[in-house]
Structure 1
Amino acid sequence: MLLQLTIRNIAIIREVQLEFGPGLTALTGETGAGKSILIDALGLVLGARASSDLVRSGTPRAWVEAIFDLTGLEQATDLQAMLSAHGIDLEDGQLILSREIQANGRSVARVNGQAIPASVLAVLGARLVDIHGQSDHLSLLRADRQLELLDRFAGVLPLRNELARLVREFRAVRRELEQLRMRTREREHRRDLLRYQVDEIARARLRVGEEEELVAERARLQNAERLASLATEVASSLDGDEFAPLDALRRAVLRLEELGRLDPEQRGLAEQLREALYTVEEVVRTVRTYAESIEADPDRLTVIEERLDLLRRLKRKYGATVEEILAYAEEAQRELAALETGEETIAELERRADELARAVVEHARELSARRRAAARALEQAMSAAMRDLRLGQGAFAVAFEQPDETGNEQERAAVCGETGWDRIEFLIAPNPGQELRPLARVASGGEMARLMLALKSSLSEVDETPTLVFDEVDVGIGSRSAHVVGERLWQLSRAHQVIVISHLPQIAAFADRHYKINKTVVNGQTETAVHHLEGEARLEELAAMLDGIPVTPESLANARAMVERLERRKLQLVGAGTGT
């Protein structure tokens, strides 16, 4: 459950902090006040894509923190495993997620103070909060989304995941078999080619770094005469006769030694110059030795050129560097080994493919059967929910499409996807006697919002996500339907924490906690302010939502009567066992 949300410097929000509790929380306010920004900020701390555009103008960074109470989720092994995998320890059963977005676009995500990748934060966030915006209502039109909702209702996600694993392994084995089942002539040709390539590279006896050494040695041999001349000239210029710099340095050292004996404070000068003398003498010895070592060797130069030519030819064939050539040889050796043991491997893989095909078919059959059974229950639950949400007295159905069960097990497994054989589509008939049709051809925007709410309420018992957020679920809904939508949200909040952004007082009046969002101007800048409403302040907001501003005694009385009526309705629902 979400306990607290703190937001700093997001869009027009300078700093706000909201406290949440169990049940239904409503966020209301004028359009543009910042209600959806609050949900966007929550999305950020749950791992949504970050953008520097969200950082409040004139500030270096934005920051969001969400505190969750995980009490009651001790048995959620997937969540516990995820936390353990990243070394995250709970603090008094609480999980603190935070996200910082800098003005340059960089972002940092943390869980209980520990930095984690945003991708991990997104997976963790999806387990804690389910946010539904208008785009999510549209996602209900997609067949893959409909199949996922049915599978969640059926409780078959573990079976579906196991089927997906089997299908992936089956396809991998089939691909490997296809590669091994090359025609004999092609396999032999490939084997001969690989043998030649491996032998050619092996005969070259390549060594990493060899080419650079050969290039340097070739440069020395090609310039041997000039190198020797330069070295000799350097040695002669430093120590060629009595007037050379080296003799001058020696004489200067002797004079400074004498100076130091006469003036002890200057003894250090002779030592400094002696170090310089030693350095010059060492340079002279080194260049003389170098000059004597330089010798033109045409035979060696020819050998180097031939070796470099061999390296160039190998690089043209197998890779741009010696490392790439050696890597190619290793890969060729592995492929050669696979070809030479191909017959045994083919037989083994064929046995494995048969086993996997049987497992895929069995799992797909079971998944399909459980889906069809759950579909009948979902149809009944959805039809009832649709009536409650005033979506007409029509019907809801799940249409199935499946390929013919012909062919052997391998052929049937080959046409099975990771989600099974079934292709489904949600159909509705808004009114009795009408033909069932796909949602996209029948449902309006407001109806889509209520259909999503109907699905969430039907799935509430099997949905393990503790917090559900509905961003403007009332879009396209009139005041006549608002009461039943609010009632359904409140019923849903008995099993989940529910947060809803709404413009309709009939929905907000059902809330156990109510926040008003409005804009203010502080020091010439627009800011979002959040107020927790209770008592008369809440009644005034509901009255303003009912009849506009200024609030009149009549609208205030209507708001009070509405709240009292809805409180009685809540008690009736609890007494009937539908609000617990």
Structure 2
Amino acid sequence: MIELLRVRDFAIVDRLDLELGPGFTVLTGETGAGKSILLQALGLLLGDRASRDWVRAGAPEARVEGAFVPPAPAAGAVAAVLEEAGIPWDPAEPLVVTRVVAADGRSRAHVNGALVPLHVLARVGTHLVEVSSQHQHQSLLREEEHLALLDAGLDAEGRRAFEGWQAAFAAWQEARAEVDRLERLDREGRDRAEFLRFQIGEIRAAGLEPGEDERLRAERDLLAHATKLREAYEAAEAELYTADTAALPRLGRAQRALEAATRWDPEAAAALDLVTEAMALVDEAAAAVRRRLGEVEADPARLEAVETRLEAIRRLERKHGAGVETILQKLERLEAELAEIENVEWGLERARTRLQEAEQGLAGAAGALRAARERAARGLERRVAEELAALAMGKARF
């Protein structure tokens, strides 16, 4: 339904706002009153080509705007076209279409404020309005609409045949695409296989292990700062254990003092327990520091070897993606592609067999659909004849 048609500087129209309500609306007027101009303005919103002759004399541009509320079936079709074009629209809201024609004949079209090409506007327009007095909008005269009209009259069996044909056609398309892909692979496979073997060999020769790059970077950081780390651990060990003023000896002296205090003050036992627990924790910390101190050694040769290995990994990353995991995943894909090329003849034979089966299935489904459409055509012919007879056109043939 058209809710609003707004026209500015179009032909002889200066300004017009036409609001339409539900139900049947008739526009009448004598010749030259402007009925055809309204249809031409509406045609612009439906995707008709623009002409500079439509811009009112002295005006910089003509502007036509319409607000449409399509019924449910048409709304779904419009939404599909707009979604394909990347234009959001809520079918619960009116669809606003605007067309602007400049004085030089160039035009712009907008749907809900988004700029759209003319062919998209024309596709949307076919679902918005049927102008029976203008041939370019008569669905009955568009051959591409005929099958849709016929299929709308299919019975239940016919609809099942149509769905079966759709499924068979999709299966045939998939099978045809696979044969085309494998035939192309067969033609181009030799050069591609050599390239794949080179890349696979390069990655395999590196002998990568999952997580290796992360482990190497951690080891490199440790080796690069080994001297400073040893100094830090030695200082910590001294503060915890070896120095005269270290924490553990001082806690030992405090423990002995508190043991003596418990002879005369039972409340000292609580403090003694805490000091004893602290001694255990400090002793554990000191052991961890000594252990780590024994593990950290400056090793220039090993550091050089780690840097060399990381550089080899970085060279592979520049070709195949960041991270050892990514490289290993690519290796799997390359090996799978090479295996497919090496077995392409066998795969192509299977694909051709599937294509032949799909063609047979499609032929059967097409036969069933043809029979269903013939039944629908006879029913349509009968119903149209009945309508023509009711219009006193009984001798007309459809």
Q: TM-score range by the shorter chain?
A: 0.5 to 0.7
Residue 296 of structure 1: SS of its match in structure 2?
coil
Distance 1:303 1:286 in 2: 28
1:253 to 246, 255, 262: 255
CA apart distance, 1:198: 2.0
After superposing the two structures, state which structure 1 stretch, 166-175 or 216-225, moved more.
Answer: 166-175
CA apart distance, 1:245: 2.7
CA apart distance, 1:225: 0.4
2:152 maps to 1:149: yes
1:195 to 194, 197, 201: 197
Cα 1:204–1:394 change in 2 (3 A) is farther
Normalised TM-score (structure 1):
0.41
Matches within 5 A, 1:326-405: 326-381=328-383, 384=386
CA apart distance, 1:147: 5.1
2:206 maps to 1:204: yes
1:208/1:323 contact within 8 Å kept? yes
2:150/2:376 contact within 8 Å kept? no
Match of 1:289 in 2: 291
Distance 1:393 1:280 in 2: 111
Residue 262 of structure 1: SS of its match in structure 2?
coil
Cα 1:241–1:296 change in 2 (3 A) is closer
Match of 1:214 in 2: 216
Q: Number of matched residues?
A: 270
1:261/1:267 contact within 8 Å kept? no
Cα 1:330–1:219 change in 2 (3 A) is same
Amino acid at match of 2:289: V
Match of 2:272 in 1: 270
Matches within 5 A, 1:32-431: 143=145, 146=149, 148-151=151-154, 153=155, 155-182=157-184, 186-381=188-383, 384=386
1:233-292 C-alpha deviation (Å, 9 max, x unpaired): 111123343333322211111112222332223312211111111111222222123223
2:223/2:297 contact within 8 Å kept? yes
CA apart distance, 1:381: 3.1
Distance 1:393 1:232 in 2: 113
Larger radius of gyration: 2
Match of 1:112 in 2: none
CA apart distance, 1:187: 1.2
| Larger RCO, structures 1/2 (Cα 8 Å, 6+ apart) | 1
Q: Percent identity?
A: 30
Cα 1:269–1:363 change in 2 (3 A) is same
Amino acid at match of 2:266: P
CA apart distance, 1:369: 3.0
Amino acid at match of 1:378: L
1:110-160 C-alpha deviation (Å, 9 max, x unpaired): xxxxxxxxxxxxxxxxxxxxxxxxx8997x969375354233x36322222
Gaps of 5+ in 1: 1-29, 32-38, 41-48, 55-134, 396-431, 437-580
Normalised TM-score (structure 2):
0.59
CA apart distance, 1:367: 1.1
Instruction: Report the RMSD for the aligned CA atoms in angstroms.
Output: 3.6
Cα 1:241–1:349 change in 2 (3 A) is closer
Higher helix fraction (1 or 2) = 2
After superposing the two structures, state which structure 1 stretch, 232-241 or 246-255, moved more.
Answer: 232-241
Gaps of 5+ in 2: 1-20, 23-70, 73-87, 94-126, 131-137
Distance 1:255 1:274 in 2: 12
1:154/1:370 contact within 8 Å kept? no
1:170/1:357 contact within 8 Å kept? yes
1:229/1:291 contact within 8 Å kept? no
2:158/2:372 contact within 8 Å kept? yes
